[in-house]
Structure 1
Amino acid sequence: MGIFGALTTAVGGLRANSYALENVSGNIANSQTTAFKRVDTSFLDLIPQTSATAQLAGGVTTQSRSTNSVQGDVQTASVATFMAINGNGFFAVQKPGNFTDGTPVFDGVDRYTRRGDFQLDKSGYLVNGAGYYLQGVPIDPTTGNPSGSSPQVLRFQNDFLPAQQTTRIDYRANLASYPLTTKHDVSVPGSELIAPGSYSAGHNPLALGTPAAPYTDASRSGTTQNNKATPSVANTAATLLSGAAGTDSISSNFIAGDTITVNGQTITFMASGAVGNNQINVDDSIGTLLGKIDALQGTSAPNTATIASGSITLHSGTAFNLSVSSSNSTAWAALGFTGTVTATRGGGGGPGTGQVVGNDNSTFLAESIAGGAVTTYDISGAPVNLQFRWAKVDSASLGAGHTDTWNLFYQVNPNATGTQVAWQNVNTNFTFSASGQMTPAIPSIELTNAVVNGVALGSPVINFGTGGVTQFADANGNVQVNQIQQDGFPAGQLQSVGVGTNGRIVGNYSNGRNLDLAEISVATFNGTNFLKRVNGGAFEVTDASGQALFGKAGTIVGSSLEGSNTDIADEFTKLIVTQQAYSANTKVITTSNTMVQDLLNVLR
């Protein structure tokens, strides 16, 4: 071939370097294109078939070498629907063949791209800057799992998210071992407990079916008081109710006309000649007075038996609650009491009905402590405020046969009056050991056919979990609610969508709910660099690339974009090298031309 072979080889070199220059030019032009993959140039020598001793350097040809597997830098973006793939994989997309009434009609050809600048269009499709529509798998809102496995073009419309009725309430709390109810009195054992006998007849608030408790005696003790004797000593049953200085009489005298009222019945002080239980002489003894109080009260526990060291103890007995006061406050104080002395019997009432009626609402509030509240939802999504209260019904501090036991109530009607139900007992006894743990454990209870303020809630389950409710000492004497959360919500309209960290499209609704709407389909290929490039940074499958594979891709990063993998400095270096190689090939052509001219001159 000789000189003419050199000419054609040099022309091939020009063509090859022109091809390389075109790739360099395209890479530089797309250095700011989202997720652009640069194209490198491979030079291949072309060797003619000759003997081993006559081999030639040969010509050259070129071909493109893809860098689809080389990732560009991932940078944050302010648009919630922008996304990037960190690692291997491509977004599955489609492109419309045409539009009908503004609605895209897709050509059915799956394409793949790393360009993740997707945004919602007016029709609810996620479309990237090159006009490709994102594909994925819709999420079943009930199970939260993908509904199928085949990718489809995703569309999100401003439909309402249906309301969900509350079916579960997660509740965790600590109950104070000694509840500071309004009516508690630390000096009176059991005063912190709910007292069934103080409720309307036939309306025992304890758990349904609880047997009626027998009435038990309650007592109140006065302060220690001394007489007027010299030296002064503690009052006894023989101490008189009036007397001169230096005598065994109380420190301040009762006088004729004074009264002591016992449960509405009056004991009147007389100068002399008192008869019956409603009269007493001013010079009678404390023991006589206590006997008359016992007689009017009907108690079987005589007060005189409890006088010790100058302190008088009054008993309610089991027949009635006790209320005692005096018109002479000074003399009453000399007995160790001020104001009206009350003692409420324990126990009593009929069998447990598990309900508190309107007439007993104030009593119940005084004997229980707040247990928190949560907004629940009925089947239509209407909000209902569900309030809880705890009442302690027994205490281990009362001795043998008693355990720390509580009842939980929820409010049925905040405006209940008369015999209308105000609070409903969940009809479960919660008992606690000395260590403060529930024994036995009650993991959950069901509020069967719960109706609150006229709204039916169905039968939501209150889940306490393992050790969710405890009874430890609390200086504040109340319920410390650690968790109270429910699973219902009202209807809501889709307001925006974003990309979650788990590769899912998340819908943000007007009711505050965030719901997974779809799982983004990310494809990988065994022959990634053999995909066919099409406009807009997309690729199509070829025989050499293999079919798309799903499930082993990189992770999706929301609010981010992948940049071009073009390195400008590297491309400028290639540009210089390509220019030099091109110039060198032109020198070969010039030299070959000179040699041909010299050969033609030989013939002249």
Structure 2
Amino acid sequence: MGVFSALTTAVSGMQAQSYALENISGNIANSRTAGFKRVDTSFADLVPDSALNRQVAGSVAAYSRSTNTIQGDLSATSISTNVAINGDGFFVVDQRLSGLGANTQFANQNLYTRRGDFDFDADGYLVNGAGYYLKGLKLDSVTGQLIGTQPEVLRITKEQFPAKATTSIEYRANLPSTPSTKNHRDNPTVTGSELLDPTDFTGANPMTTNTVVGSDMTTFLNQSIAGGSVTVYDSLGQATSVELRWAKTAKASAGPPPVEDTWSLFVAENTGATGGAVAYRRVPSNITFGPTGQLTSGATIALPTMTIGGTTVTGISLTTGGNGLTQNGDVSGEVDARSIRQDGYTAGTLDRVSVSAEGMVVGTFSNGQVVALAQLSVAQFNAANALKRLDGGAFEETIESGAPIVGLGTSQLIGGNVEQSNTDIADEFSKMIVTQQAYSANTKVITTAQEMLRDVFSIIR
């Protein structure tokens, strides 16, 4: 039976090499497929049970060997929604069944892929080139908290980002120890000419009424200096400009009173006011500085409620951080406003979306706000090579692969990149040559066995 066994063994060898060639062919065909994982071939010998001194080499069987854990090269695409995983893990995706827009129905099945060429479709879903829809956890755009615990298909629409009313103005500046007011410039030798003198005001005493009326505008401007301006927003996102002016009201003397330099902050309400109409409002509390120029009053200054250009400005505080507001000598005699920033903004629409290294889907809005909108779900497996392959570079969980472990772990996401196929063309050609030679050798075995059988049949004749 040796010749017949040789025939069947050679046939099994041809079948095994054919299987290997099929894998090589598929690897080469998908050498440019994003996220493709090549399939290698492993061989196992099949030995029939026989006596120790009668054992034979036996036939062969071919099996596939996955390379899901071998990463392909990363290629930059300049598309902000494209993303590649640098390390272990798979994107969690789903398949569309039917419907459009908000009524789209999905299979509600977690599938896994390394193909990260995601881009927006017409309905705001992130879908890759093979038609799989990206899943993740949505975030509240205001609080930044995750919504839900189970991955869902992400849909990001160009809805307006709500406006935020200004509540805080970060103010960092130096007030000159001798302010260069017009009065002081005109009378530099007169003691106290740099100070605000309430007795010069005929309409209303700004230190008691906390207002400057239109009839006293010239007097006030001559005894104060500009402190800068900033645009603030109300709850509807309407913008208005807040102009600040500083007036020094008391200068420290060698002994009490006073022992500290004292300033008052005024906010413009209507610079075109006349007569008894309010032009500026004073912050009721005094701002004081010690002998070293450090702020000795509160680090937070509450601005008065007022209506500027038809917009009500209320609930805003000027924050200095304690050492952000100082009083030191300055030859210019003007306020050196190093930083004036506020925390409000108008409503905005989504301009673009990108993905951070931590897997955050980040939206940049037309109002300048950059907000995390969702968290991508990345799954890892204890036996990633045991996943079941599906069309389009997707994989399905199996008993052998184990359950997914959601989380990036030590991996990192790289936006604007796509992982390419891990197929090495040169290596595949080398394997193809070896496979071809092995296949030809098996055909030679069959030819030889056939000749031997013909010789046997010739004995009968």
Q: Same fold (TM over 0.5)?
A: yes
SS at match of 1:60: strand
- Indicate conservation of the 8 Å contact 1:176/1:479, yes or no: yes
Partner Cα separation in structure 2 for residue 204 and residue 570 of structure 1: 90
Aligned partner of 1:186 in structure 2 is: 188
Matched, 1:423 2:424: no
Q: Within 2, Cα distance between the matches of 1:358 and 1:100? A: 62
Q: Answer whether contact 1:528 1:545 (CA < 8 A) is retained.
A: yes
Trace 1:509-548 onto structure 2 (pairs within 5 A): 509-548=365-404
Aligned residue for 1:597, secondary structure, equals helix
1:488 lines up with 2:334 in the alignment: no
| Residues 1:356 and 1:101: Cα distance change in structure 2 (over 3 Å) | closer
Structure 1 pair 195–587 and aligned structure 2 pair: CA distance change class (3 A): same
Does 2:205 correspond to 1:204?
A: yes
Compute the displacement of 1:13 (Å).
0.9
> Which has the larger Rg?
1
Q: Does 1:414 align with 2:271?
A: yes
Query: 1:252-331 counterparts in 2 under 5 A?
Result: none
Equivalent in the alignment of 2:328 = 472
Secondary structure of the 1:53 match is helix
Tell me by how many angstroms 1:54 deviates: 2.5
Q: Distance in 1 between matches of 2:384 and 2:319?
A: 51
Query: Which amino acid is the alignment partner of residue 525 of structure 1?
Result: F
Match for 2:348: what amino acid?
G
Write the distance in 1 (CA, Å) between the matches of 2:102 and 2:375: 26
8 Å contact kept, 1:138–1:147: yes
Tell me whether 23-32 or 552-561 shows the greater mean CA deviation. Answer: 552-561
CA distance in 1, matches of 2:128, 2:77: 14
Give the secondary-structure state (helix, strand or coil) at the position aligned to 2:371: strand
DSSP 3-state at the match of 1:578: helix
Hey, what does 1:436 align to over in structure 2? 293
1:169 match: 169
> How many angstroms apart in 2 are the aligned matches of 1:483 and 1:454?
27
- Tell me which residue corresponds to 2:451: 594
Alpha-carbon distance in 1 for matches of 2:394, 2:32? 16
Query: Is the Cα–Cα contact under 8 Å of residues 295 and 322 in structure 2 kept in the other structure?
Result: no
Using the TM superposition, give the Cα deviation of residue 404 of structure 1 relative to its aligned residue in structure 2, in angstroms: 1.5
Counterpart residue number, 2:90: 90
Q: CA deviation at 1:15?
A: 0.8
Deviation at 1:31, TM superposition (A): 1.0
Q: Determine the C-alpha separation between the residues in 2 that align with 1:526 and 1:393.
A: 73
Using structure 2 for the length normalisation, give the TM-score: 0.94
CA distance in 2, matches of 1:373, 1:109: 56
1:572 alignment partner, SS class = helix
CA–CA separation in structure 2 for the residues paired with 1:560 and 1:370: 50
Residue 510 of structure 1 and its aligned partner are, at CA, apart by 3.0
What secondary structure, in the 3-state scheme, does the structure 1 residue paired with 2:170 have?
strand
Corresponding residue SS for 2:129? coil
TM (normalized to structure 1)? 0.72
Query: Does the CA-based 8 Å contact 2:27-2:39 persist in structure 1?
Result: yes
Q: 1:6 to 1:466 in 2, by over 3 A?
A: farther
Give the Å deviation of 1:397. 5.4
Q: Pairwise mapping of residues 73-472 of structure 1 onto structure 2 (< 5 A)?
A: 73-99=73-99, 104-184=104-184, 185-200=187-202, 203-206=204-207, 352-396=208-252, 400-402=256-258, 403-440=260-297, 442-472=298-328
Compute the displacement of 1:45 (Å).
1.4
Change (3 A) 1:525 1:180: same
Partners of 1:102 and 1:3 in 2: how far apart? 68
Matched residues in 2 for 1:448 and 1:518: separation? 39
For 1:430-452, what per-residue CA distance to the aligned partner results, in whole angstroms no more than 9, with x for missing partners?
22222221124x23233354433
| Deviations 1:504-561 (CA, angstroms, capped at 9, x unpaired) | 2222333333322111111111111111111111111111112222223422211111
For 1:145 and 1:200, the matched residues in 2 are separated by 56
Q: 1:479 to 1:583 in 2, by over 3 A?
A: same
Change (3 A) 1:431 1:537: same
Change (3 A) 1:37 1:48: same
Q: What's the counterpart of residue 560 of structure 1?
A: 417
Unmatched 5+ residue regions in structure 2? Answer: none
Q: Contact 2:116 / 2:418 at 8 angstroms: preserved in 1?
A: yes
Q: Tell me which amino acid in the other structure corresponds to 1:85.
A: I
SS of the aligned residue for 1:431 comes to strand
Q: Which residue in the other structure is 1:5 paired with?
A: 5
Q: Secondary structure at the match of 1:150?
A: strand
Any conservation in 1 of the 2:282–2:304 contact (CA below 8 Å)?
Answer: no
Secondary structure of 2:181's aligned partner: coil
- Relative to structure 1, the CA distance from residue 148 to residue 447 in structure 2 (aligned partners, 3 Å threshold; closer, same or farther) is farther
- Counterpart amino acid of 2:345? F
Superposition deviation, residue 62 in structure 1: 1.4
Of the three residues 427, 431, 437, the one matched with 1:580 is 437
Amino acid at match of 1:562: E
Give the whole-Å Cα distance in 1 for the aligned partners of 2:110 and 2:422. 24
Partner of 2:353: 497
Q: Distance in 1 between matches of 2:246 and 2:108?
A: 63
Residue type of the partner of 1:205? Answer: P
CA drift of 1:501 comes to 4.1
- For 1:399 and 1:73, how far apart are their aligned partners in 2? 76
Query: Is 1:165–1:457's contact at 8 Å kept on the other side of the alignment?
Result: no
User: For residues 61 and 466 of structure 1, do their structure 2 counterparts lie closer, same or farther at Cα, with a shift above 3 Å needed?
Assistant: farther
Q: By how many angstroms is 1:204 displaced?
A: 2.5
Indicate conservation of the 8 Å contact 1:414/1:453, yes or no.
no
Contact map agreement 2:281 2:304 (CA 8 A) in 1: no
- Shift in Å, 1:205: 2.1
For 1:16-35, what per-residue CA distance to the aligned partner results, in whole angstroms no more than 9, with x for missing partners? 11111111111111111111
CA drift of 1:400 comes to: 4.5
Structure 1, 29-38 or 400-409: larger mean CA deviation: 400-409
Partner secondary structure for residue 574 of structure 1: helix
Contact 2:124 2:155 in 1 (8 A): yes
Question: CA separation in 2, counterparts of 1:398 and 1:181?
Answer: 24
Q: CA deviation at 1:385?
A: 0.7
* RMSD (Å) for aligned C-alpha atoms: 2.0
Residue 477 of structure 1: how far off its partner (Å): 1.8
Tell me the amino acid that sits aligned with residue 165 of structure 1: A
Residues in 1 aligned to 2:183 and 2:148: alpha-carbon distance in whole angstroms: 62
Structure 1 366/448 Cα, relative in aligned 2: closer, same or farther at 3 Å? Answer: closer
Match of 2:41 in 1: 41
**Count of matched residue positions in the alignment of Structure 1 and Structure 2:** 457
Letter in 1 for 2:158: N
State whether residues 450 and 459 of structure 1, in contact with CA within 8 Å, keep that contact through their aligned partners in structure 2: no
